[in-house]
Structure 1
Amino acid sequence: MIKYLIPYLKKGKIGQYIVFEREIGENKAKYKSIDIIQNQTIKDALNKNGIENLYLHQAKAYRLLKNGENILITTPTASGKTLCYNLPILEDILENRAKALYLFPMKALGYDQKEKLLEIAKFIPDFKLNVQILDGDTSKVKRRRILSSEPDIIITNIDIVHYYLLPKMDEWYNFISNLKYIVIDELHVYRGVFGAHFKNIFDRLKRFIPDVQVIASSATVGNPLEFTNDLLNINFNHITESGAPTAKKYFLLINPEDIPPANIATYLIKTLIESGIKTLCFTKSRMQTESIYKSLINNKNIKKDSVSSYRAGFLPEERREIEKNFRDGNLKAVISTSAFELGIDIGGIDATILVGYPGSLMSLWQRAGRSGRHGNDSLIILIPTNDALDQYFVKYPEKLFNSSFEDAIIDKENELINKQHIFCAAYEKPISVQENYYFSNKKLISSMVENSELFYVEDKNSLITLKKFPHKEVDLRNSGHTYTITFNNKIIGTNSAKKAYTENYKGAIYLHRGETFIVDDIDHDKREIKVYPAKPNYYTRALIEKETDILETYSTKNYEKYTCKFVRLKVKEQLKGYEKIEENTGVKLGKVELEENPIYFETKGIVIEFNYNSETNLMGSIHALEHGLIAMIPLKILCDRNDIGGISYPEHPQTNKTSIFVYDGYPGGIGIANRIFNNIDTLLNLTLDNIKNCNCENGCPACIYSPKCGSGNYPLDKNGAIELLNFLLNKEVPYKKNRQKNIIKDDVIIFDIETKYSADDVGGWKNAHKMGIAILVAYSYKNNKYFIYDEKNISDFKSLLDKSKVIIGFNIINFDLKVLTPYIKFDFKETYILDILTEIKNITGRRFSLDNIASSTLNTKKSANGLQSIKWFKEGKIDKIIEYCKKDVDITKSIFEYGIKHKKIYCNLKDLKVEIPVNWDKYGWRD
């Protein structure tokens, strides 16, 4: 069926958008005889299950485990990894009543595993396998009953090990004392923050069972042994070669150009359902999942009960029902976030659609492997978004098949996390100064002793904590408390505190099971988010302001044109509002301002420092480089761009240089920044390659626009970023030849605008472009004169702009230039913009009025204010507006000249005159 569907798709509506296709050939099975199994009863049980031979990797795993080795299995998805360990473990239970602990990152995986174990065990005569599941839904009474039943295998998760097993080791004693095996499935999940916690919990568990045999299985990553050793600190035999057969897979890359990828996905799902092809569609966000689902159920040709969305935030009973219906064939298509990426048994799937590159080759092929599991041909369709990484693979599709997989990482040196777990370890059992755990954490433990956080027992040979149950203070996923999302007092979903801050603010759009809601109220005490149903034509995107302080420098690398430092940072992130974006076109409909309390955290990052003189817009150039760099990082490191933060400064107050910061977006760090630091030159070259080869003129989401930019992707200068990267990498700057001809940029101007309407008149500051120009006054240094424009002749101002190498003003980025946009279209890529207010905020972290700066620096004041000017406009007193506007330009000019001369200006804070250091010569205004 799949083979004949592809020509149909190529001739249909989307045929013109298919930019790459490939047939991935089948592989024949490689078998080993089942006779290697020592126990005849087990062999008979497998035969009754229809298993007559073992795949090559299954046989190898069996032999190694029987020899007492630890094994790591990284064969592809659907290669039969579970039998690698189930087989020898069942044999050992049958012969020796051995015990095994299975750890899975998702409940559904655990239930799948239990069914598979019991399916084999039921064919073993006179043998009753006792497999029990312990998870968050298991009551305390049932947990005690399970443990007292002497289970052979307990299937659980790392949360239970942390919160229940380790602190209550006396209840687990009978099971743990006989424990021979620990199985850790989906090992690649335990990276980043979660991985740092997992490592610590496993280290604590090994204190009680140091000789346990470990079986780990993982999706393919670039550094499997290094990552596993970082995580578990155990030597493994690595099994990579698979003996499992694979059927043909057909791969299509569909680049929709100006059509939203979600629309293409909707069309494809509808087509596949009509063709009888069971389909799983992956998206990159909850909102996109719900948007596609909503489009499908609104189609009269699609039965509502034949499709479903699936994502985190659904209630457990909802997820179980969807899984069952998909497995049983009642659902023909499911649209999911990454939640279905792991190996839950959902039956045979014929096609996998990926809306957007999932951020890593590991995830791409893990998701692709969900289809074609029963030996049938399958179809994989990747629909790139406008994201830079997606479009990188549109330009270089072969890299999807021949690039090495990304490295998985954790940060073993996250002291915030390590310290929490040392408290837990000392609570569970005194830490002996002779044990390995002590020596592995000696430096931090010594610090905790000095700070009276750990205490020696009388003989000075061991340490304890006086904390009462420190486990409850540990947040394994660093997500904060869970918030419930309610409508009419009924819970319809959940979200973590961390995500709720940027996703569920007041006014935010929330989608659930095809319905649209708007956040109405947030009760932080009750951790409740109230929503109401609505039918808006837009979605929302948070606007975040960030600031950084360098607390410590770990390492420095000096390159010819720049210095890169690996540093400890203090980061401030503050939600300042959100944008409303039209659902179908992506057009920005406006901004809504919010004043939320900021989030502060310490983390690890890198800072790229340099001195740079150019004719380009410096802020736009470094901002664009920052976006482009962050977009390329997942090519080398297994992470999501949402794990990474960034901010750029024309001059950072601590470095006194132009500085670009990129940092781990989690307290304490998660190991990404250190990898960036060690690969910075490679990543900068990838960034240059991607931006330079993008077909857009002035920048787009495929190169420098970021979907999570806190300032709404303003300002950005694509050509400036190319020139800057060429400079940093010591390459030629070819694009300079293409500058505007016959226009000599040799002027420096200062300007200010007075408007016809107030913010209240046009619906808020977000609509500054609607406020209209009453008067614009500009001062030209070249001509040494003031120019005055009204709305009728404002187009003449463009000739002055065209000849200006530097444009100066106070709050011009967030106000004056936005007021100007309906009148003049101007490309600022070859012009510096010095916004004095933005400079002050970058240095001090605060905003000060022009009046405050003028009175403190010049001992002078403004002659009026904006509202008075609007009143004069309504009264026809244009001369007064010109006089007032000219005075503001003159004040701004005097502040600028004072700063140039004295390298400082002043502000007033709580009746104190505070000095603000500035360096405005860097804008090249004298040249």
Structure 2
Amino acid sequence: MTHPLLDVLLANGRRADRLTHVRTLPPREAVHADWPSWADPSIVGGYRALGVDRPWRHQVEAADAAWSGRHVALATSTGSGKSLGFWLPALSSVRVDTARGVLDAGRIESAVGRGAVLYVCPTKALAADQLASLSRLVDASGARDLRVATCDGDTGFDERSWVRDHADVVLTNPDFLHFSLLPNHQRWARLLRSLRYVVVDEGHAYRGVFGAHVSLVLRRLARLARHYAPRRPGEEPRGLTFVVASATSADPGVTAARLAGVDPHDVVVVADDASPAGSTTFALWEPPEITGYRPPDDAAAPRPDGAPGSDDAFPPDAFPPDAGEPDAHEPGAPGPDDAPDVLVPTDQPEYPRRTATAETADLLADLVAHGARTLAFTRSRRGAETVASATRDHLRRIDPDLARRVAAYRGGYLPEERRELEQAVRSGAVRALATTNALELGVDISGLDAVLIAGWPGTRMSVWQQAGRAGRAGADGFVAFVAREDPLDTYLVHHPEAVFNAPLEATVFDPANPYVLAPHLCAAAAELPVRTDDLTAFGRPADVRSVLDVLVARGALRRRPSGWYWTHPQGAARLTDLRGTGGAPVRVVEAATGRVLGTVDAGSADGQVHDGAVYVHQGETYVIGHLDLTDGVATATRRDVGHGTWSRDVTSITVDDLHERDDSADSGHDGADGQDGAVGQDGAVGADGHDVVNGHGGASARPGNAPADEPRPTTYRRWGPVTWGVGPVEVRSQVVGFQRRRLPDLQVLSDEPLDLPEHVLPTTAVWWSVPDALLDDAAIGPDLAPGALHAAEHAAIGLLPLLATCDRWDLGGVSTALHVDTEQATVFVYDAYPGGAGFAERGYELGATWLRATRDAIDACPCTDGCPACVQSPKCGTFNSPLEKAAAVRLLDAVLAHAPR
């Protein structure tokens, strides 16, 4: 029996050819447990008043472990009530301390410090949502003595002072800890002295370099809590209890232990979900071909029914959150979300397919008309606005009231506007939201009937996070994944096993990375001198000491018999930007009124709100009069226009020094996308929305960026005709113009130049270059070379995290059939962080091992032309085109034939 909403989308069979697969996931029965005997009766009463008569088993297992002082990794599905598992022990702890103080107030020997709880999450939106939930619980329980507050960069001075002096539960984000609380720990001594529990929510959002940064922030927090903890003679100070709540992921216990800096054996893993779930019907959907379409004379022109940039090339969750209110893993830094407006490749099929955004708008309109409450996830802010606007246009012909019940939701809206939208969805006033992955995290929106996913979001974990919004609270749900016209999406909708049967990704990050560790050791020393006993808190003592020695040699720290000291007048926290957001967001201001419409990430402003750009906000169009990057303001005028704007950028990579040391004889090395010739560009998406990250990964600041006295010079070695290099490069990206295109047919009206600054990412890359003769020997002619290099680059980026502890999103790549610096066909893989993060150097050191693994992974894959398991990338800037799988294997065989044994 099919789900009734699938019948709605099939439209009596008229769309049956678009459905490629349907999978029904079985329901799950609830397993309840009794309330723990230790739980505070008032808190239990509050939960019961809110409708929780008995908790689910996994909630009690997590709460029991946390109450006993064990660290907990709570990894269950979206909507499974993870918050009860950590709030029940945390709030009960505060209430018990309060009761002791009241009952024995006259006995000095019974004086007990009132416990405190710190809740850390990646976004301000999630903290606000938790505050609202906690406030309802406190009101329902009658526990008026519980004092709960959020504290972040937007909190005013007076309110912040009250939080420091009185709050029992503080909700914040990693950025506030790093930049404010820890450097000013003396002012927060009351909280640190009383701290019992640290709850880290949405733990899967902390991955890659961002995850390493957050892990070290938490270790600094634990060190200061130990410093302030009350001591009794002969006893160790009380330690913190960490609860890491996360979506189901690979190895949640190991990930939680690494994040909190504790022994994995001390972590209790609770991953057996006991919450009820209805059955979920999951459909894979491929938009139809446009059979009446004749390709335009301009090969770069877009297709007629969807704007390039709506079907974006990059997933927004490619990075971590930022301290503002962006999309995806917001808070202050897993970052930017808007994909670049990539022009359609020149090798389009004769009949291109309809875009995912246009198709999703049609499906969303049908679902709304049928009465279904729905979320439509898109991959960019432009995509969310486009889907919402098109859906309203469809519904306006049926019922204007229905059109008013559809809205967009994305980063860049003002906080109060986002809260209003969240409440409108909960109440049913808004029936459908077209959203970025800003709603992928744990904001409590339940009771939804359906979820549409327009384009692969980058990871299976994200897919299941988004899909989990459908059918929450035990109801049946419906999910449809709508494929973009991209080889990766096309592969997935025709190979359902790659969606449903493949394991979830691991959350990978490395707190021991010296590029990340060094600035945090400086920050820790600025907070309190680093003692020998502290070294284990930051990793293996020998490794930590070696980084400290380098920092001393460079003058960043001073070594004294009692420890390592920060002696510089400036603050050490500013040496690193956790999220790499590239600066404060740009405000979009209505020129006539001075009203702030929203914000745009600093790095993406030149591509989104340049002079003359059309800015869309909830269906209303504005034209940008002037972008002032110095003041961070773009002025806009409300105007109904019949066109949209698409920016055009150029990206290149240059080698800083081509004539440095040759280490071909160095026995310590086993040997180790683009421009000029049809090319691949695969960046860790950055704050500018291009293929680079223009923020700070912890490696660019002085003093304390890299664990070396000076940047490593460019180094070369040769494998016969193959040249390997590693060293400083500059990845340059610049918005050089934009087109005005008439809507809806997207006919080009004008091509306008722009004079905007160039974004430069100084970083470290590893590369290998091959001469034409080697390509000829591998039977790779000029027609196959771009695709072979591009495919090899994708696979190499996918395999490097196995050798260098990083996330795929921490890397960028460029491949080209002829590079201006090397004068040969070249594949570059670079660290997507200023100054580098050590990953490219690791690839150089293990070059032969790396390329052999890359070659074997491609060759062993059973697919014919390439798939996500081998050569397709979820973040390719050229829509995974061109790719030549077989030629990539021949190319790697030819290169490895010259590798040292």
TM-score by length of 1: 0.70
Find the residue that maps to 2:596 and give its secondary structure.
strand
Could you tell me which of 768, 772, 775 is aligned with 1:613?
A: 775
Aligned to 2:534: 435
Pairs within 5 Å for 1:630-649: 630=794, 644-649=811-816
Aligned to 1:397: 496
- 1:48-93: CA deviation from partner (whole Å, max 9, x where unpaired): 4443433222222123223211011111111111111111222222
Could you tell me which of 511, 524, 531 is aligned with 2:629?
A: 524
- 1:304-358: CA deviation from partner (whole Å, max 9, x where unpaired): 4311111111111211111111111110001110100011112311100100011
Aligned to 1:708: 877
Could you tell me which of 215, 218, 242 is aligned with 2:273?
A: 242
Distance in 2, Cα, partners of 1:642 & 1:520:
35
1:186 corresponds to 2:202: yes
Aligned to 1:843: none
Could you tell me which of 571, 574, 577 is aligned with 2:730?
A: 571
CA shift in 2, pair 1:474/1:483, >3 Å = farther
Displacement of 1:168: 1.8
Distance in 2, Cα, partners of 1:139 & 1:591:
46
Aligned to 1:796: none
Higher mean C-alpha deviation, range 526-535 or range 324-333: 526-535
CA shift in 2, pair 1:467/1:191, >3 Å = farther
CA shift in 2, pair 1:297/1:131, >3 Å = same
Higher mean C-alpha deviation, range 52-61 or range 502-511: 502-511
Aligned to 1:6: 6
Displacement of 1:625: 3.8
Displacement of 1:415: 5.1
Distance in 1, Cα, partners of 2:487 & 2:280:
26
Find the residue that maps to 1:322 and give its secondary structure.
helix
Find the residue that maps to 1:27 and give its secondary structure.
coil
Of Structure 1 and Structure 2, the greater strand share is in 1
1:666 corresponds to 2:769: no
Find the residue that maps to 1:53 and give its secondary structure.
coil
Identity of aligned residues (%): 26
Unaligned runs of 5+ in 1: 697-701, 732-927
Distance in 1, Cα, partners of 2:436 & 2:458:
13
CA shift in 2, pair 1:43/1:339, >3 Å = closer
Distance in 1, Cα, partners of 2:9 & 2:385:
25
The one-letter code sitting in structure 2 at the alignment partner of 1:311 is: R
Whether the aligned pair in 2 keeps the contact of 1:223 and 1:407 (CA below 8 Å) is yes
Pairs within 5 Å for 1:760-799: none
The one-letter code sitting in structure 2 at the alignment partner of 1:346 is: I
Say what the alpha-carbon RMSD is for the aligned residues.
3.9
Find the residue that maps to 1:171 and give its secondary structure.
coil
- Structure exhibiting the larger radius of gyration computed from Cα positions: 1
CA shift in 2, pair 1:634/1:491, >3 Å = farther
Find the residue that maps to 1:626 and give its secondary structure.
helix
Distance in 1, Cα, partners of 2:780 & 2:613:
36
Aligned to 1:116: 133
TM-score by length of 2: 0.72
CA shift in 2, pair 1:622/1:60, >3 Å = same
Displacement of 1:470: 3.5
Displacement of 1:155: 1.3
Pairs within 5 Å for 1:545-624: 545-549=651-655, 556-557=670-671, 567-575=726-734, 577-578=736-737, 580=739, 594=754, 596-610=756-770, 612-614=774-776, 616-618=780-782, 621-622=785-786
Displacement of 1:695: 11
CA shift in 2, pair 1:681/1:517, >3 Å = farther
1:478 corresponds to 2:580: yes
Q: Which has the higher contact order (CA 8 A, sep 6+)?
A: 2
Displacement of 1:534: 6.2
Could you tell me which of 151, 155, 159 is aligned with 1:138?
A: 155
- 1:703-751: CA deviation from partner (whole Å, max 9, x where unpaired): 6998635xx99xx7655x64243442589xxxxxxxxxxxxxxxxxxxx
Distance in 1, Cα, partners of 2:50 & 2:839:
45
Count of residues paired in the alignment: 719
Pairs within 5 Å for 1:117-516: 117-122=134-139, 124=141, 128-149=145-166, 151-210=167-226, 211-235=239-263, 236-257=267-288, 258-299=353-394, 300=396, 301=398, 302-303=400-401, 304-412=403-511, 417-436=516-535, 439=541, 441-456=544-559, 461-472=563-574, 474-481=576-583, 482-488=585-591, 489-506=594-611, 508-516=613-621
Distance in 1, Cα, partners of 2:460 & 2:393:
33
Whether the aligned pair in 1 keeps the contact of 2:789 and 2:815 (CA below 8 Å) is no
Whether the aligned pair in 2 keeps the contact of 1:281 and 1:354 (CA below 8 Å) is yes
The one-letter code sitting in structure 1 at the alignment partner of 2:887 is: E
Find the residue that maps to 1:33 and give its secondary structure.
coil
Whether the aligned pair in 2 keeps the contact of 1:101 and 1:181 (CA below 8 Å) is yes
Of Structure 1 and Structure 2, the greater helix share is in 1
Distance in 2, Cα, partners of 1:147 & 1:432:
27
Find the residue that maps to 1:540 and give its secondary structure.
strand
- 1:603-649: CA deviation from partner (whole Å, max 9, x where unpaired): 35443554523365448623564268549967997999876432224
Distance in 1, Cα, partners of 2:268 & 2:464:
24
Find the residue that maps to 2:128 and give its secondary structure.
helix
The one-letter code sitting in structure 2 at the alignment partner of 1:131 is: V
Displacement of 1:182: 0.3
Displacement of 1:288: 0.9
CA shift in 2, pair 1:624/1:575, >3 Å = farther
Find the residue that maps to 2:599 and give its secondary structure.
strand
Whether the aligned pair in 2 keeps the contact of 1:104 and 1:156 (CA below 8 Å) is yes
The one-letter code sitting in structure 1 at the alignment partner of 2:376 is: C
Find the residue that maps to 1:170 and give its secondary structure.
coil
Displacement of 1:375: 1.6
Displacement of 1:118: 4.1
